[in-house]
Amino acid sequence: MRLVNRTYDELQPGDHAELHRLVTPDDLYIFAASSGNYNPMHLPDSDVDGDGRPERIAPGMFVASLISAVLGTQLPGAGTLYRRQVLDFHDRAHAGEELVCRVEVTERLADGVVRLATSVHRVADGAAIVTGEAEVLAPTVKFDRSDIEVPGLVVQRHRHFEALLDRARPLPALPTAVVCPDDPNSLGGAMLAAREGIITPILIGREEAIRAAAAAEALDLAGIEVIDIAGDAAAAARACALVHEGRAAAVMKGHLHTDDLLKPMLDKAAGLRVGRRFTHVFVMDVPGQPEPILVTDAAINIAPDLATKVDICQNAIDLALSLDMEPRVGVLSAVETVNPAIQSSIDAALLSKMADRGQIRGGLVEGPLAMDNAVDLAAARTKGLKGGVAGRANILVVPGLDAGNMLAKQLAFISHAEGAGLVLGARVPVILNSRSDSPMSRLASCAVAALHHAKGQGK
């Protein structure tokens, strides 16, 4: 960014400058975080007056800060210091509206002080939002530099999950067998999804423990079916039976080990196998990324062979299509070239060729790719990689569970992502949450399952 100021001696009445700015929802979050003003009228998703529509009003002082931006960067520019500002507020600006801020020199006063008329108008209709007058101490030293940089900000907002929830809410509530929801986290997640209309839970487990957990969290179980069964294995087997009976279209993990949940599902007679391997997909909402990132497999297959990786790829592609994504599968390795000493690079090359031959369908598959050139276009171009996946992968197939688990947790705890977890390859989607998952993560997992089920029903 180049900044060139106008010194006091250069300024004349009539000199003017202006700045156009689109107000975004992220602007509202950033202003709330930096100012401490959490008035819900000024947040993107809050409905204070109860009319069913969020107000999304830009704070008055945020709008006024645009005046400061023009004064500090354009006219007079770098070196300007405030002496006085008068503000009159005439209307409200909202997220999604474009504003234009204008300042004009009206008078040069003594001792380097300059008076300017200031205003902010809405571009669409020309309505005045703020008008006023500023007095500033103008710079006396010329400034002309192009090396000004300000660190970028990434808002920890999970807009992709919010969009998935908006798509899932109008769907019929998904009948879901919730296995052993006898602790506050697992029961609370199921009941939250029920309140949002995404699932209709059927609670399976020790009824006394389930009701105790509900009482501890003040959760109302009125109208919720509770099936009293002792033992994790028996509860998981009952969930499989509900699927076969047509009463449940999804299974959700409660307070039990993943192995205990999945073991009855693998039973050849009474389980839920349909031909493919069970594989796990994390749908990650990473702040700053243009779309969700799918990471697979990070929870079930420890050291998958080539045949298992084929199912891992295909299941992830099918899920991405359910979410209306364009599947671009990057098969990860430590390097982006085939190295006979690195088995993951050989598997990646084979998977890529299998996709070319139609053995994996529905999306683009490329590999081997290193993590950097899978998700960063500049890194891909530096390595001379072309095609539709390199630098743009939205499905990351990892070499094994260790790498997948590390990658998913790095995205969650360092990049502030939220993750929705789903097991695929069964007759119905299996919602797999961990005890540390946030309410948004649990809710998003249910939304992903509902969307995947709905797309499967439409085939």
290-344 pLDDT per residue, tens: 899 999 999 999 999 999 999 999 999 999 999 999 999 999 999 999 999 999 9
Tens-place pLDDT, residues 392-429: 999 999 999 999 999 999 999 998 888 999 999 999 99
**For all residues of the chain together, what is the average pLDDT?**
93
**Nearest Cα residue to 426 out of 304, 284, 267:** 267
Tens-place pLDDT, residues 32-71: 999 999 999 998 878 898 888 889 999 999 999 999 999 9
Contact 446, 193 (CB under 8 A): yes
SS (H, E, C) the chain: CCEECCCHHHCCCCCEEEEEEECCHHHHHHHHHHHCCCCHHHCCCCCCCCCCCCCCECCHHHHHHHHHHHHHHCCCCCCCEEEEEEEEECCCCECCCEEEEEEEEEEECHHHEEEEEEEEEECCCCCEEEEEEEEEECCCCCCEECCCCCCCCCCCCCHHHHHHHHHHCCCCCEEEEEECCCCHHHHHHHHHHHHCCCEEEEEEECHHHHHHHHHHCCCCCCCCEEEECCCHHHHHHHHHHHHHCCCCCEEEECCCCHHHHHHHHHCCCCCCECCCCCEEEEEEECCCCCCCEEEECCCCCCCCCHHHHHHHHHHHHHHHHHCCCCCEEEEECCCCCCCCCCHHHHHHHHHHHHHHCCCCCCCEEEEEECHHHHHCHHHHHHCCCCCCCCCCCCEEECCCHHHHHHHHHHHHHCCCCEEEEEEECECCCEECCCCCCCHHHHHHHHHHHHHHHHHHHCC
**Would you say residue 438 lies in a domain?**
no
Cα torsion angle, 449, 452, 455, 457, sign: negative
Tell whether 291 and 250 lie within a shared domain: no
**Would you say residue 421 lies in a domain?**
yes
Structure-model confidence comparison of residues 267 and 395, the more confident one: 395
Mean pLDDT confidence for 234-263: 94
**Would you say residue 459 lies in a domain?**
no
Q: What is the pLDDT of residue 49?
A: 86
Q: What is the pLDDT of residue 436?
A: 72
Tell whether 418 and 354 lie within a shared domain: yes
Give me the percent of the chain exceeding a pLDDT of 90.
81
Tell me which of 274, 309, 342 is where a domain ends: 274
Q: Is the pLDDT of residue 164 over 80?
A: yes
**Nearest Cα residue to 68 out of 101, 106, 35, 23:** 101
Domain limits at 49? 3-145
Q: How many domains does the chain have?
A: 3
Q: What is the pLDDT of residue 156?
A: 67
**Would you say residue 453 lies in a domain?**
no
* Residue 12 burial class via C-beta count within 10 angstroms: exposed 0-12, middle 13-18, buried 19 and up: exposed
The two three-digit tokens of residue 277, written as one number: 């391997």
Tell whether 7 and 138 lie within a shared domain: yes
Tell whether 325 and 401 lie within a shared domain: yes
d(CA 295, CA 178): 24
The two three-digit tokens of residue 433, written as one number: 């949450």
Tell whether 280 and 421 lie within a shared domain: yes
Tell me which of 274, 307, 327 is where a domain ends: 274
Helices 207-216 and 184-195 pack at an angle, to 10 degrees, of 80
Q: Is the pLDDT of residue 283 over 90?
A: yes
**Would you say residue 96 lies in a domain?**
yes
**Nearest Cα residue to 290 out of 219, 376, 357:** 376
Tell me which of 101, 117, 145 is where a domain ends: 145
Q: What is the pLDDT of residue 149?
A: 83
**Would you say residue 187 lies in a domain?**
yes
Which residues have CB under 8 Å from 177's CB, separation 6+? 202, 204, 238, 239, 242, 243, 247, 248, 250, 251, 252
d(CA 431, CA 442): 9
Which of 90-94, 113-117, 362-366, 452-456 has the weakest average pLDDT?
Answer: 452-456
Tell whether 404 and 316 lie within a shared domain: yes
Q: Is the pLDDT of residue 113 over 70?
A: yes
Tell whether 35 and 135 lie within a shared domain: yes
Tell whether 262 and 252 lie within a shared domain: yes
CATH number of the domain to which 238 belongs = 3.40.50.10950
Fill in the amino acid letter for 402.
Answer: D
Strand partners, 280: 423
Tell whether 141 and 207 lie within a shared domain: no
Instruction: Please give the model's pTM, rounded to 2 decimal places.
Output: 0.76
Q: Is the pLDDT of residue 459 over 60?
A: no
Tell whether 387 and 402 lie within a shared domain: yes
Radius of gyration for the chain, computed over Cα atoms and rounded to the nearest angstrom? 28
Give me the percent of the chain exceeding a pLDDT of 70.
99
**Would you say residue 346 lies in a domain?**
yes
Q: What is the pLDDT of residue 448?
A: 95
**Would you say residue 195 lies in a domain?**
yes
SS (H, E, C) 45-106: CCCCCCCCCCCCECCHHHHHHHHHHHHHHCCCCCCCEEEEEEEEECCCCECCCEEEEEEEEE
> Do you find a cis peptide bond into 399, omega within 30 degrees of 0?
no
d(CA 114, CA 7): 10
Strand partners, 395: 294, 329
**Nearest Cα residue to 352 out of 375, 329, 382:** 329
CATH number of the domain to which 9 belongs = 3.10.129.10
Tell whether 295 and 409 lie within a shared domain: yes
The gap from C-alpha 76 to its chain's centroid, in whole angstroms, comes to 40
Mean pLDDT confidence for 93-114: 96
CATH number of the domain to which 314 belongs = 3.40.718.10
Tell whether 283 and 265 lie within a shared domain: no
